Each structure stands twice: as structure tokens, then as C-alpha cells.
Chain A
């Protein structure tokens, strides 16, 4: 006979939460490419933090040393040096912080704005929903890159503006995902019950409705960092993102492009850096999606 023991409600809740998280982690671990991606992302974060202390911005990143310009990759300079004699490897490593911070902050902005709008739209419905959806439609009607260019030209070129611009551009996506996830729950009886019991709308939204949208949002956030990094690098490539001489990867590509004929390595390494970072976030997102909802996998 099994032993019966009374479990308090809070204990049960805790137990459930823990098991859900560990379940996701257990599923995630089974996916080798997602695990590799996770390690790469951790490595990039570490690089971004360590490069802050390891390199001196003035001496290593921006100082020109014309005598050493265009040294092709060798033992001393594994990625070579650029047209000002700056070491490309050091600049690429140092550049991780820009891509990463732009990606993360932009996604945080669009996630907070988009999820809030999506929750409101999905929960209240009716006129408010229509209004918010139309608003999203206007923003998605303009290609993200052109919208980014317009925002940057309006507010000036800086890394903060770049973050905000990309954040704004991707807001409708989160709004739609959230709304789509919230919609089917809106008319559930437990929501009705909570409302009758006098729970405030705000509390219902965040504690009863929001959890339903969590998995698609988590996946979208991971992949969103990837697309934000890509958009940021395109904008920098167009000369509108992170201002030079900061070693942002897209900006480095744009600089290196002039010397492509003879010094191709100048464009290869920053491009590879972008690709590996974006790829890792995408793979992580894929792995997370499978881990969060194993049924979707097949």
C-alpha cells in the first residue's frame, strides 16, 4: 500500500513548477545542436564581458598603427590587421558586446511593449483589439529596415537609438504572438470565475492569461535576438547603426568591403562572427521550441 501524505497547495505548486522546468531542460539536453548553440552563446557572453577588461579601448580598438596595416592572417594576428593597422581578432572579440547588447535590449523593448499590447488586445477584445491590431498592421506594412532607417534619421545615430528603433520595429510580432496565444483562453470559465470573484483585470491578465502565452514568447524572444542582431548589422553596414570607429561587426564589414579585392579576410571574419552568433540563437530557439512542446516536434 502506498503511503498517503497530505501535500499543501503551495508545496504542490512548487513541485509542479520545478518538474516543468526540469522537464524542459531534460528535453533540451537531448538536442545536441541546441546544446552546442547554448555553449556558443554562453561563450559569446563571456567574451563580451571579458573583452571589457582584457582590452584597452583606446590602445587596442581604435588606435591607428599605419605601419602595421593590411597584415594578412598570421600567427601574431590570427585574423590579420585592417587598413589602420588594428588587430581584427581583437576588434571582432570586442565587437561581441555591441551585437549582443543591441540584440538583447531591442528584444527586451519589443517584448515588453508587444506582450503588454498583445495581452490587452487579447483580453479585452472588441474595439481595443481592433485598434491595436490596426496599429500593428501599419508598422508591419513598412519593411523593418526602412523603418529602422527612418527612426535613426529622426532621432540621430547612436547605439541607444538603434536599440529603440529595432525594438519598435519588432513590437508588432510579439503583440500578435501574445494575442494569438491569449485569445483561446479569453472565454475560459476559470477566467470568468476569477472575474466574478473580483480579481482585478491586471492580476487576471498576468497570473491567469499570460502563462498560456509563455512558451511561444520564450521561443520568439530567443529567435528575436537573432533577427535583431541581423537587422542591427544590416543598419550598421548601411552606415546607420553603431557609429564608427566602434568595432560593430556590420560596420567592420562595411569598412572592409572597400578593400575586398586584395584583403578579403577583412570581410570574412566579422561576417562569420555575425553568422555564428545568429545561428546559435536560432538553434537555441529551435531547441527550446521542441523542448517546450515535444508534441510539436513531429
Chain B
């Protein structure tokens, strides 16, 4: 098991390096010279050249990226061009907001989709089942930012219950978490329903019933545990993507998360900040996926046996 984890961590390194290269390279391709925007209007060519060196932007792309990577490997993510502050501290500042939104939304998604998906599977072909299918179809087809706008209209403009934007506290979290959670619930309900349906006709559930296990326990204990692997998989990738992929929702609710920070950095040609953010995001996503893979082992002994090999 430990060997498996170590191997996975080592495999992450080339992926992370390639991600930084791709982002750095793309940012470099972007038209416009960052330095000429940063420099004062009356700067002499020498001054511009000095600035360029100061920001590590002299030399060819390979040289520049090499320098960036070298520093990154030493734990230095560089300084943001625009905010003039270390990338890592800017990132850390936004991190709590992102984590809060990600976990709150996944909680909303779980609370909606697990009961709904299980009920849909146990009442296959009933109205409840149909309801869950329609609901999850709507939720995966609806642009989340649009749902966010509708919620703002209803709950902040019309009823004035929740603020329409900002990230100052719990009150501000509810609407974005609901929006993002609803978006995620669609997929999660679908996968819960279908994996429960796969399990529900298995012989071992009949064995459990024949032992005298109550129906509630048969479903929650015996069936759910077996249906859990696909559910955890989707849960993991959903959570991982919520760390940086909720850009549109962060924009709608003016929520100061990493996603919005990254888009801002990209739009400002802030190479170090953009690359740093995406690097950190990729790291978080990969860590989440690793945690998911480890969780498999605890859910299913057969997976655990495979890992130890």
C-alpha cells in the first residue's frame, strides 16, 4: 500500500512539470508585452531591459521556463507581476474561500443525490425514479451560471434573503454552494442510481435478506457499500474540479476563489501567478484523486489486494 502511494506521488511529478510547461508556454504565446505595460510610459530601453531581467523575462522561452522551473523546484513560485506579491501568499489568501465553496457544494450535492439516487434505484420505474432521471438530466444540461443568476434574482433581488455577491462569510456562501452543488448533483445522482441498480439484484443481497437482515440495512449496509466505488470516483473528480473549475460561478457571485484569480491572472498576462495557480490546482486535483484511490482500498478488499501486489 505504501509503495503504491509513493509510486503514485512520483508519477505526479512529470505531470505537474508538463502542466506548468504547457501553461507557461501558452501564456508566453499571448500577444502583447507584459513589461511594456508594467514599465512607466517614459521608461528608457535600458530601464525596460532591467525590468525584464528583474522579472526573469529575458532570454529565450526555454531559458525563461528553465529559470521558472528551477525556482519552482526549490519551492519558490515567483512574484505576481501585477499584484507585486509572492504568488504563494496570494494563493494562500484565496485558498480558504475555494475550499469552503468546494466542500459546501459537494455537501449539497451529496445531500441531494445519495438519497435520491438510492430511492430511485430501490423504486425502479416508479414516479420517484422518473423524477430523479428528469432532475439529473436538467441539472447537467443547465448552465450553472444561469442557475446562479436565477437564484440571485429570486433570493437576493426579489426576497432579499441572501446577499448577491461577495465572500465575507457564511451568508455569502449559501447561494454559490447551492448553485454549484445542484450542478454537481446531476451527475452524482445518475451514478448513484445506476450503480445501485447494478448491485440491487445481486445474489448476496438475497443471502442477507434470508439471514433476517432488515430491508433498510440490506440497502444501506450491504448494497450501498458495494455501489460505492463508482460513486466515490465521481465524487473525487467533482471535488477536484470544484477547486479551480467553478470560474463562472465565482464570477456570478463575486466569490474570491482561485478560479477567478486564475482567470484574472491569465487576462492580465500575469505569467507567474497563472502558472502558479494552475500548478497548485493540478496538485490539489491529483491529491484528491489519490485520496479517492486510497479510499477504494477501504471500501473494497479486492482493490486493496490489487494495490499490495
Contacts and interface: CB of A to CB of B under 8 A. Distances in A.
A–B direct contact (CB < 8 Å): yes
Contacts of A151: 26
Interface of A: 134, 137-139, 141-146, 149-151, 153-156, 226, 230, 233-234, 237-238, 240, 250, 253, 257, 260-261, 264, 267-268, 271, 274-275, 278-279, 282-283, 286, 298
B69 interface: no
Contact of B143 (A155, A156, A234): A234
B137 interface: yes
Nearest to B152: A260
Given A138-B19, A142-B23, A238-B251, A226 B141 contact: yes
A267 B157 CA distance: 14
Given A138-B15, A145-B245, A150-B266, A250 B26 contact: no
B61 interface: no
B31 interface: yes
B281 interface: yes
A278 B26 contact: no
B248 to A, nearest CB: 5
A286 B26 CA distance: 36
Interface of B: 14-16, 18-19, 22-23, 26-27, 29-31, 137-138, 140-143, 145-146, 149-150, 152-153, 157, 197, 241, 244-245, 247-248, 251-252, 259, 262-263, 266-267, 269, 274, 278, 281-282, 285-286
A268 B149 CA distance: 9
Contact of A146 (B141, B197, B263, B286): B263
Given A150-B274, A230-B143, A271-B146, A138 B245 contact: no
Contacts of A250: 143
A28 B137 CA distance: 18
A187 B281 CA distance: 39
Contacts of B286: 141
B176 to A, nearest CB: 15
Contacts of A268: 150
Contacts of A139: 22
Contacts of B251: 237-238
Contact of A238 (B23, B157, B247, B269): B247
B149 A260 contact: yes
Given A142-B22, A143-B259, A146-B245, 17 more contacts: A137-B15, A138-B18, A141-B19, A142-B19, A142-B281, A144-B245, A146-B281, A149-B263, A150-B266, A150-B274, A150-B278, A154-B29, A267-B149, A275-B143, A278-B143, A282-B137, A283-B137
Contacts, number: 124
Contacts of B274: 150
B204 to A, nearest CB: 19
Contact of A153 (B14, B27, B259): B27
Contacts of B252: 257
Given A238-B263, A257-B149, A143 B281 contact: yes
Nearest to A283: B137
14 contacts: A138-B19, A141-B19, A142-B19, A142-B22, A142-B278, A146-B266, A149-B263, A149-B267, A150-B27, A238-B248, A238-B263, A271-B150, A282-B140, A282-B141
A253 B146 contact: yes
Given A142-B281, A150-B274, A151-B26, A279 B141 contact: yes
Contacts of A142: 19, 22-23, 278, 281-282
A143 B149 contact: no
A274 B282 contact: no
A286 B248 CA distance: 27
A134 to B, nearest CB: 7
A243 B278 CA distance: 25
B266 A153 contact: yes
A62 B222 CA distance: 61
A154 B146 contact: no
Contact of B248 (A137, A234, A279): A234
Nearest to B240: A143
Nearest to A278: B141
B29 to A, nearest CB: 4
B93 to A, nearest CB: 19
A260 B19 contact: no
Among B14, B269, B282, the most chain A Cβ lie within 10 Å of the Cβ of: B282
A5 B271 CA distance: 73
A138 to B, nearest CB: 5
A154 B26 contact: yes
Nearest to A230: B143
B247 A156 contact: no
A134 B21 CA distance: 14
A275 to B, nearest CB: 5
A277 to B, nearest CB: 9
